[in-house]
Chain A
Amino acid sequence: MDRNRTHRNRKRILAALHFTALFLTMAIICIPGLWIVLNSFRPTVEIMAKPPVWNPSFTLDHYRAMFGGAGEGGVPVFSYFRNSLIISVVSTAIAILIGMSGGYAFARYKFKGKSGYFVGLMLFRAVPGVALSLPLFIVFAKVGLIDTHLGLILVYVAMNVPFTIWLTDGFFRQIPKELHEAAEIDGCTRWQAFWKVEFPVAKSGVASAAIFAFLTSWNEFALASQLTRSVGSKTMPVGLLDFTAEFTINWGGMCALAVLMIIPALILTFLVQKHLIAGLTFGGVKG
């Protein structure tokens, strides 16, 4: 009896501890983001108030200012959003085509030095953006790619290809090779067999690789901050800096832009989260 009770009590205490730890963790994960969202709706006076105001009031001022155009020292958010969108979408599309072809090569063909090639490609992803930005800055200035969409697109394609290869390799490897053999016997060329059978089967995996690439481009700062300058090509992460002046920061406006940056990322990630995790683990585990 007694031992049963102590065990039961211990179980209860453990459950309480478990709940508390989980709650704290989730709070720490969520609060910073929520704080940003909350502050994007608070008037600047209230954000800056001392002592702090805990009863938030609600205003759309920051959003109004943000979408109100570039007049009077405002930040040209629309242009930044458009630049980000064009650059991310185009670079993702190209990176997926190139990366998928590479991933297919790794998944389906045997060749000498395969793992060497693989690690080699990954190492190019590991080159720090800042370190790469130095020579790119000079080279792009020489060939006139600085401050252009094309320049950043090229950079992001190169940046995303290795990881796309990693992910798509994992997805294609899950597909038994008999599938394309069956398709070839059924009358397909190798090319048809890929597009009619292997690609549709790996589609969700490829989609998650695409979203990963998109997010990388969407969020990149180190290279974009050096390779773009004008409203015509600056992306949103670089645009965030516009809210900082010499000594002050327009926190409310910044929070509003941050929300605008996060929303597409949020939606896309939730759409593919399951495949994304599967892709990450398969690519690596079944190496």
Chain B
Amino acid sequence: MPRRRLPEWFLLLLPAIIVIAAVVLIPLIFSLYSSFTPYKLTRPSTLWKWIGTYNYEKILTDAKFWAAFGRTVLFLTIALNVEMLLGLGIALLVNKVTWGQRTLRTVLMFPMMFSPILVGFQFKFIFNDNIGLVNNVLQSMGFNVALPWLVDGKLAMFSIAFAEIWMSTSVFAILILAGLFAMPRDPLEAAKVDGCTPWQSFRHISLPFLMPFIYIAMTIRSLDVARAYDIVQIMTGGGPARRTELLWTLMSRTGYVDARMGLANAMGYVSILLSIFFTVYFFRKLSAARAEIGMGG
């Protein structure tokens, strides 16, 4: 009789499970607990006081929280869609190039290796209303303006989105380009012979084939949506007057500046659910798209 043992696959996964449980799961359980307490860093005894769903009721009735939440969802939706469309466009542009394609692809990877915080600083510098590159160029071209890029609410939101899109479009461009390279030529040529216009063959042949690649990019991207936090934190810190406040900056301020950990953890859970929602959504889209072009299994 062979001894009953844990299956091999489980033993292989075990280290991963242990590390993640220790470093992510347990703190998250702790933070779930503390989100039901009025825990303040400055008063440790508050950790033991159970206040039920008070924190959650508080944030759910807080207009500032909802504004940040709505802004975050809107920001992500716009950013992801623009990144996807731009990425698709860039991939198609580069795919058409016949010379120096590899160099272009290398250049495309450039923003991927920038630390998000670096991207934040970089654009804080470039959009600086006094010495920034953008205003300097505008002024040198004769416009006698100093646009308050990071001071005006709307312009600041634009600048942040610009930085975010600059940083993340390349993931889409590169993966879609990989998809274009992998695409079989025959169907496209058949379509051409059958009299499809370029748009029709793109719409009905290329795009369905590219969808899984787009969703891979979306999934990879959604694993890390919160890195926009770094950018916002550096560029505006949520200001001016909370006009660029996202869920993550609000949470960070509540936790570290106001020291209200319990409340911040409650917000943290909302942000976690948001991230999970994005990830699961794209994972499902990915499997569906895969099945559609017969790559599943």
Scan residues 122-174 of chain A and give those whose CB is less than 8 A from a CB of chain B.
Answer: 122-139, 154-155, 157-158, 161-163, 165
Complex Cα spacing A135 to B22, Å: 12
State whether A101 touches B16 (Cβ < 8 A): yes
Complex Cα spacing A102 to B16, Å: 7
Minimum C-beta distance from A112 to chain B (A): 10
State whether B255 touches A262 (Cβ < 8 A): no
State whether B16 touches A161 (Cβ < 8 A): yes
Minimum C-beta distance from B222 to chain A (A): 7
Residue of B16, B97, B112, B121 with highest tally of chain A CB at under 10 A: B16
Chain B residues whose C-beta falls within 8 Å of the C-beta of A102 in the assembled complex: 12-13, 15-16
Asked if A90 is an interface residue, CB under 8 A from chain B, the answer is no
State whether B13 touches A26 (Cβ < 8 A): no
Asked if A247 is an interface residue, CB under 8 A from chain B, the answer is no
Chain A residues whose C-beta falls within 8 Å of the C-beta of B56 in the assembled complex: none
Chain A residues whose C-beta falls within 8 Å of the C-beta of B251 in the assembled complex: 130-131, 134
Asked if B36 is an interface residue, CB under 8 A from chain A, the answer is no
Asked if A9 is an interface residue, CB under 8 A from chain B, the answer is no
Known contacts A163-B223, A277-B178; is A284 also within 8 Å of B115 by CB?
no
Chain A residue, CB-CB nearest to B32 = A135
State whether B24 touches A127 (Cβ < 8 A): yes
- Partner of A25 from the list B12, B90, B114, B261 (CB cut-off 8 Å) is B90
State whether B269 touches A281 (Cβ < 8 A): no
Scan residues 38-75 of chain A and give those whose CB is less than 8 A from a CB of chain B.
Answer: 39, 47-52, 54
Contact with B along A10-44 (1 / 0, CB 8 A): 00000000100110011011111101100100000
Known contacts A98-B15, A280-B220; is A130 also within 8 Å of B276 by CB?
no
State whether A222 touches B229 (Cβ < 8 A): yes
Chain B residue, CB-CB nearest to A190 = B8
Chain A residues whose C-beta falls within 8 Å of the C-beta of B295 in the assembled complex: 285-287
Chain B residues whose C-beta falls within 8 Å of the C-beta of A273 in the assembled complex: 105-106, 109
- The segment from B58-66, B131-139, B152-160 found at the interface with A is B131-139
Minimum C-beta distance from B68 to chain A (A): 13
- Partner of B268 from the list A50, A131, A255, A286 (CB cut-off 8 Å) is A131
Chain A residues whose C-beta falls within 8 Å of the C-beta of B122 in the assembled complex: 32-33, 35-36, 258
Chain B residues whose C-beta falls within 8 Å of the C-beta of A125 in the assembled complex: 223-224
Chain B residue, CB-CB nearest to A136 = B27
State whether B12 touches A135 (Cβ < 8 A): no
Chain B residues whose C-beta falls within 8 Å of the C-beta of A85 in the assembled complex: none
Minimum C-beta distance from A31 to chain B (A): 8
Chain B residues whose C-beta falls within 8 Å of the C-beta of A109 in the assembled complex: 7-9, 12
Chain A residues whose C-beta falls within 8 Å of the C-beta of B104 in the assembled complex: 22, 26
Please classify the interface of chain A as helix (H, G, I), strand (E, B), loop, or mixed, using the class held by over half of its residues: helix
Minimum C-beta distance from B125 to chain A (A): 6
State whether A221 touches B115 (Cβ < 8 A): yes
Asked if A76 is an interface residue, CB under 8 A from chain B, the answer is no
Complex Cα spacing A48 to B230, Å: 25
Complex Cα spacing A25 to B177, Å: 15
State whether A262 touches B114 (Cβ < 8 A): yes
Contact with A along B196-233 (1 / 0, CB 8 A): 00000000000000001101100110111111011000
Complex Cα spacing A47 to B260, Å: 40
Chain A residues whose C-beta falls within 8 Å of the C-beta of B252 in the assembled complex: 130, 133
Contact with B along A253-271 (1 / 0, CB 8 A): 0110010011001101110
State whether A119 touches B19 (Cβ < 8 A): no
Q: 15 A-B pairs, CB-CB below 8 angstroms?
A: A26-B107, A39-B125, A97-B15, A101-B12, A122-B219, A131-B269, A134-B264, A134-B268, A139-B26, A222-B229, A237-B230, A277-B178, A280-B178, A284-B215, A284-B286
| A interface with B by C-beta (< 8 Å) | 18, 21-22, 25-26, 28-33, 35-36, 39, 47-52, 54, 97-99, 101-102, 104-105, 108-109, 111, 117, 119, 121-139, 154-155, 157-158, 161-163, 165, 215, 218-222, 226, 237, 240, 249, 251, 254-255, 258, 261-262, 265-266, 268-270, 273, 277-278, 280-281, 283-287
| B interface with A by C-beta (< 8 Å) | 7-10, 12-13, 15-16, 19-20, 22-28, 30-31, 34, 41, 89-90, 93-94, 96-97, 104-118, 121-126, 130-131, 133, 136, 139-140, 166, 170, 174-175, 178-179, 182, 212-213, 215-216, 219-220, 222-227, 229-230, 248, 251-252, 255-256, 261, 264-265, 267-269, 271-272, 275-276, 278-280, 283, 286-287, 290, 295-296
